[in-house]
Structure 1
Amino acid sequence: MELSTVRAALPTTSRGRATLLGIHAQSNMVLYGSAKTVLVLPLIGDGSADCYNGHAHNVTAAQCSPNGEWVASGDSSGKVIVWSRNGSRDKPKLECQALGGGVDDLCWSFDGQRIVASGDGRGVLVKAFMWDSGNTVGEFDGLSKRVNTVAMRPKRPFRVITGSEDSTVNVYNGPPFKFAASHKDIHSKFVNCVRYRPDGEVAVSCSSDGTVRVLDGDTAVALDVVLKDHGGSVYAVAFSPDGSAFCTCSADGTVRGFDISTPATPASTFTLTPGGDGPAAMVAGCAWTDAHVVALTLDGRMHCWPASGSGAAAAPSGAPAKVIGGHQKAIVSCAADTANGQVYSSSFDGSLVQWDSDGLKYRGTIAPHGGQSVVALCCANGLLLTAGVDDSIAAWSLPLSMSPDTSPSWRVQFDKNVSGAPKTISASSSGLIAVATARGAALLSGGAIACPCVAPPADCGSDGANAASISPDGKSCWMGFENGKVACMSVADGGASAELVGEALTRHRGAVTAVSYNPSGTRVATADANREIVVWDAVSRAEAITKMVYHTARVRSLSWSLDGNILASGALDNSLIVWPMTGEPVSRRKTAKQAHAGGISGVAFVGGDKLASFGADCCARLWTVPNGIFDA
């Protein structure tokens, strides 16, 4: 089993604050944090991301060394870790407790020997240290409030400038760095970003007061230039790689470019608008690489325009050439539409994302339940079925248009006092739909509730069903319960009648978390919170395959290959396992350890030998499961 593609989580954003993207302009890549993961995302090629999961707290800043080999990343605890992009991740180069609070920004010296971190904390708000030893190389006095941003002059003599929430821009000379000057009157609100031009001759600062100021790189004196082109807070600044231009981004939803060939008289050259409605369209961050200008909107999406590294000479314009999308919050469910070559995933923030099965290319995002969390997905019979915490089931025609105006073919509202809140969905080839609910199971047919509630057996508890799966022919349905028992019911009259068959099965020693029929309807797989997976004969209800206890935490998701020869499982232990279902011993299983930091929430075979996985790290991964994978 080989990992072929990683689709990155989107950057964490916060309304009213900048999200400062790290870049390596020559490599055309951006760096940022999402929860406890550092993402290194190439903007050209297939866009498969690199992930680093060494932080114990949420990642808040990341920057690449000038040579592109090392990454410095900081988190909300104030720790900075220096790690190799190409070497071993087991032991980082440096772990340094830089600040007492969260790290907001980082910068490297042009020779790659020093790092400066700024942010919040008790006493120390900025720290400069050697990249490999962590030894401090200066003191940063004159700071009274959170330091949002920091930049180091990319030439000698070294100089560090900082931007703070007390609206000041401070200057420090070194190393060792010591206070040199303070500009208290060039901005009237938070300073959100400061950046040096690549040649070190000019620096630019931007503020929540809507202004952009230019500083002389040699003297650190603020020039008389005051740019007020934006209609809202200005969050970030990014220079073109050749330094002839820079761009800024703002809460007004625009990215503006300026020619700074003559620093005393910057000239506006372009205005870019990512588009969108409401707060989600605010631009919280920007970057400029050799090939792209990037705008990060508040919803986490990155909008990319082709651009030359030569700045204003090749100014971008029009609509973005591509949009990098995905999830900002933990993914909770997934489903594959093999007929149309697409796969869907949903997250806690109510987002539904469409991906192409071929390479997991992003196709769009909608909110099918009005922004409320989508807890379950299922693709069958030309429909995408979604279950939300608004206690409704909606059906969407496939292939699904990802327009915000898309409406469902039908929507059924559950009465929690009768059916209970929906938890999982499955569908038969005949169109009958089984929904596991907080009161048992409900059956739907033709866009209406056929059987509002099939109560669980008395010995299965009163918590309803955790999971349910209906057979391909729609004649039987298996349910799993919190007390570890599994029950089967027969279905008749198009779902209008259902009755329990025999006694509940008692193999599991933990709450049943997933139930799944194989494509032929001859077997049923069940998984539990005690790490065990059992495969049953669907007719005799006898155990067919056992001793599948190789996960080390709760199993969250099961998926059968299209031919039924392989079963995939994902669990909270971060691992993905594929199991042989054609007679080989289960000891021949193949495991991808640490497939998703924080656990796997969904797995789905998407066609051929491709398997998609989704997790709490907000990432999507595509795996190749070749024929003969279980051969000894």
Structure 2
Amino acid sequence: MMQHISRKQPSCLRAANKQKQEHVFASLPQMERGVSKVIGGDPKGNNFLYTNGKCVIIRDINNPAKADIYTEHAHTVGVAKYSPSGFYIASGDASGKIRIWDTTQKEHLLKYEYTPISGKVKDIAWTEDSKRMAVVGEGREKFGAVFLWDTGSSVGDVSGHSKLINSVDIRQKRPYRLATGSDDTTGSFFEGPPFKFKFTLRDHTQFINCVRFSPDGSHFAMAGADGQIIVYDGGNGQRVSSLGGEKAHRGGIYALSWSSDSSQLISASGDKTVKLWDVGAGTAVTTFNMGSEVMDQQLGCLWQNEHLLSISLSGYINYLDKNNPDRPIRILKGHSKSIQCVTVHKSDGRQYIYSGSHDGHINYWDAETGENDCFSGKGHSNQVSQMVVNDTEELVTCSMDDTARYIDLNKKDYSVSDVVKMDSQPKSISAAAGGLSLAVCFGQVVLMKDKRKVFALDNLGYEPEVGVLNPSGTTAAVGGADGVISLYSVQGTTLKDAGQTLQVEGMVTDMAYSNDGAYLAVIVDKKVATAFSVADNYSVKNVFYGHHAKPVTLAWSPDNEHFATGGMDMMVYIWTVSDADKRIKLSDCHRLHHVSGLAWTDANTLVTTSHDASIKQWTITY
């Protein structure tokens, strides 16, 4: 029997190791209006932390293009904080679960896991010896807990509130003190350990969003939706002063962060400003004006060494400049919502990645440095479904807002005039030589030339899903929900039925011509990929099997010999056109979500995007 064992399997398995993750361009924090965002600071001063969905994102504060993503939570993560030793991170999710994990290893091994409260975790605090931690948030019978990090056994009682607790902090020196702030408009002061409730702080008139002890433990400050910042004595909890008199900000205050010398702090507010306070004098030294739009509300802040960071409602992370308060040193942009599509384009010798997300946002990234920005002006108002770059250096996009757009990549702005309104929602867009574009909409195929509709196919007798033009712009292939691909010849400004159809094994989910036009690759919901040879009258060149669930996206390598497919099984396969048995597998590219978009910057570098709002680059070795 031995000789019948297939020898092809091991080569596939060996190939699985031939890829390397090169870059991670991380998502922005996921923001919610009126909800503060905690940024965790690294005690060593190198990194900072925030959350998006089920991910914890760790970024290098000096080089934020360097990022790492922790993906082990089963529910949405609300907050993550470093232990004072710097060796561990504790992160808390919407189910009340706390995971304490290692920061020193790439694998981020889990050390302990607890469920101290029964609802969403809003804040976490550690004692300075990294041995005890306090967790607060929503709950059924209690809104907070304080326990030993290695056994989970209680070291006190976080009581005194009638509604959810938004914020907690622990004094970083002995004797320990603990303070909380709640939606019931009060704060509580505790002595310990074991921590015992001492008294209630009733100086605020609305929700308390943030409470923070100064690093030297001499004071703690409390800020709330009433625009007040009250400073208390860190040892006995007695009120010392209020910053800025009656009101520190015109809007609610969402976050506070102290300077390392404990003499100053910054506050982030819904009035779209961040203020830097001299705590002793009780006055604002600097006011950072962050803009005038709703998205410029400030919901989080962090003061770490010389860096002052704030987070806008847009998710943008601002590096504030004390010397120029109206202009941040840098603004980290990107996506905070799921990325739906991606394409690449080379300009001035540099490769750029273009990504479009669920909220209509388009970003462009330098593939090497991760430096990124978005176009100026008003763009799509709904999900960007697909994008391609045409031969006149325009990004051609289609969106669920029922439009196609043309964006000049040299001008980097949305033109008001270069928008084509569709009769129904477009699903796919393709471009070819001679100013041609093809949009497939619900029940309709639209041919455009020079940014204008010139022809539409209606009453098709099938539901079109995806359409592609071959690179020369002479043929349009339209794949349907019925597993039939119809070929049309492009004649001037019309589409003529070429009288040829291709049969595939299920509903077409994506397809693309190779860059030289020699092949047409098609993926279908039945987990199959097919390559047709164009010159051979579209005969089947090869059929590829491997996905365990529906493949949804496809991209050709610039070498025209390989193409990549990504599926709902979270797998990416790189196929060799001439040999269906030769394949490279990338599993778990984006741990929690399937790959939503694929593109190649060169024959050995694959870009993947996902609903985790991050972009990754992989080096592929054949």
Q: If the length of structure 2 is used for normalisation, what is the TM-score?
A: 0.92
Task: Look up the match of 1:134.
Answer: 152
Q: Which of 394, 409, 421 does residue 398 from structure 1 map onto?
A: 409
Task: Look up the match of 1:273.
Answer: 289
Inter-CA distance 434–472: structure 2 relative to 1 (3 Å threshold): same
Structure 1 position 592, deviation (Å): 4.2
Task: Look up the match of 1:256.
Answer: 275
CA contact (8 A) 2:559 2:603 kept: no
Letter in 2 for 1:336: V
CA contact (8 A) 1:270 1:316 kept: no
Letter in 1 for 2:422: F
Task: Look up the match of 2:399.
Answer: 388
Residues 236-293 of structure 1, C-alpha deviations (whole Å, 9 max, x = no match): 0001223232100111111111223x4xx33422221233x32101011111112310
Alpha-carbon distance between aligned partners in 1 of 2:43 and 2:271, rounded to the nearest angstrom = 26
Alpha-carbon distance between aligned partners in 2 of 1:372 and 1:586, rounded to the nearest angstrom = 40
Residues 439-497 of structure 1, C-alpha deviations (whole Å, 9 max, x = no match): 142211122222211654x5xxx3x221111101111122222233333222222x313
Task: Look up the match of 2:354.
Answer: 344
| 1:306-325 correspondence to structure 2 within 5 Å | 317-325=325-333
Alpha-carbon distance between aligned partners in 2 of 1:301 and 1:215, rounded to the nearest angstrom = 32
Alpha-carbon distance between aligned partners in 1 of 2:338 and 2:161, rounded to the nearest angstrom = 37
Residues 528-569 of structure 1, C-alpha deviations (whole Å, 9 max, x = no match): 2232221111232222122x2222222121111223133122
CA contact (8 A) 1:201 1:218 kept: yes
Structure 1 position 17, deviation (Å): 1.8
CA contact (8 A) 1:11 1:300 kept: yes
Letter in 1 for 2:616: R
Structure 1 position 596, deviation (Å): 4.8
Q: Which runs of at least 4 in structure 1 moved beyond 6 Å after TM superposition?
A: none
Alpha-carbon distance between aligned partners in 1 of 2:294 and 2:478, rounded to the nearest angstrom = 42
Q: Which of 409, 425, 431 does residue 435 from structure 2 map onto?
A: 431
Task: Look up the match of 1:167.
Answer: 185
1:289 aligns with 2:297: no
Task: Look up the match of 2:220.
Answer: 203
Q: Which of 611, 618, 632 does residue 606 from structure 2 map onto?
A: 611
Structure 1 position 407, deviation (Å): 1.4
Q: Which of 481, 493, 497 does residue 499 from structure 1 map onto?
A: 497
CA contact (8 A) 1:430 1:472 kept: no
| 1:519-558 correspondence to structure 2 within 5 Å | 519-539=515-535, 540-546=537-543, 548-558=544-554
Q: C-alpha root-mean-square deviation of aligned residues, in Å? A: 2.0
Alpha-carbon distance between aligned partners in 2 of 1:226 and 1:305, rounded to the nearest angstrom = 21
1:482 aligns with 2:499: no
Q: Which of 430, 437, 447 does residue 443 from structure 1 map onto?
A: 447
Residues 152-186 of structure 1, C-alpha deviations (whole Å, 9 max, x = no match): 111111211000011111011222221111112x1
Inter-CA distance 367–116: structure 2 relative to 1 (3 Å threshold): farther
Q: Which of 415, 418, 427 does residue 423 from structure 2 map onto?
A: 415
Inter-CA distance 503–576: structure 2 relative to 1 (3 Å threshold): closer
Inter-CA distance 358–386: structure 2 relative to 1 (3 Å threshold): same
1:194 aligns with 2:211: yes
Structure 1 position 204, deviation (Å): 0.8
Alpha-carbon distance between aligned partners in 1 of 2:559 and 2:159, rounded to the nearest angstrom = 67
Task: Look up the match of 2:369.
Answer: 359
CA contact (8 A) 1:334 1:346 kept: yes
Inter-CA distance 91–367: structure 2 relative to 1 (3 Å threshold): farther
Alpha-carbon distance between aligned partners in 1 of 2:449 and 2:283, rounded to the nearest angstrom = 63
Alpha-carbon distance between aligned partners in 2 of 1:469 and 1:623, rounded to the nearest angstrom = 26
Inter-CA distance 16–90: structure 2 relative to 1 (3 Å threshold): closer
Q: If the length of structure 1 is used for normalisation, what is the TM-score?
A: 0.90
Alpha-carbon distance between aligned partners in 2 of 1:80 and 1:300, rounded to the nearest angstrom = 24
CA contact (8 A) 2:321 2:327 kept: no
Structure 1 position 214, deviation (Å): 0.6
CA contact (8 A) 1:208 1:233 kept: yes
Residue aligned with 1:100, SS: coil
Alpha-carbon distance between aligned partners in 2 of 1:203 and 1:194, rounded to the nearest angstrom = 7
1:622 aligns with 2:617: yes
Inter-CA distance 188–407: structure 2 relative to 1 (3 Å threshold): same
Alpha-carbon distance between aligned partners in 2 of 1:389 and 1:407, rounded to the nearest angstrom = 18
Residues 106-160 of structure 1, C-alpha deviations (whole Å, 9 max, x = no match): 1111111112111111011011122222222221221101100000111111211
- Mean Cα deviation higher: 378-387 or 517-526: 378-387
Residue aligned with 1:320, SS: coil
| 1:12-161 correspondence to structure 2 within 5 Å | 12-45=30-63, 47-87=65-105, 89=107, 92-161=110-179
Residue aligned with 2:69, SS: strand
Structure 1 position 615, deviation (Å): 0.5
Alpha-carbon distance between aligned partners in 2 of 1:575 and 1:177, rounded to the nearest angstrom = 49
CA contact (8 A) 1:490 1:501 kept: no
1:221 aligns with 2:221: no
1:178 aligns with 2:204: no
Structure 1 position 366, deviation (Å): 5.3
Inter-CA distance 400–99: structure 2 relative to 1 (3 Å threshold): farther
Letter in 2 for 1:467: V
CA contact (8 A) 2:467 2:479 kept: yes
Structure 1 position 101, deviation (Å): 1.3
Task: Look up the match of 2:7.
Answer: none
Structure 1 position 608, deviation (Å): 5.9
Report how many residues are paired.
Answer: 598
Alpha-carbon distance between aligned partners in 1 of 2:75 and 2:180, rounded to the nearest angstrom = 24
Residue aligned with 2:582, SS: helix
Residue aligned with 2:257, SS: strand
CA contact (8 A) 2:228 2:242 kept: no
Task: Look up the match of 1:567.
Answer: 563
CA contact (8 A) 1:520 1:564 kept: yes
**Structure 1: segments with no counterpart, 5+ residues:** 308-314
Task: Look up the match of 2:249.
Answer: 230
CA contact (8 A) 1:238 1:247 kept: yes
Letter in 2 for 1:541: Y
Structure 1 position 597, deviation (Å): 2.3
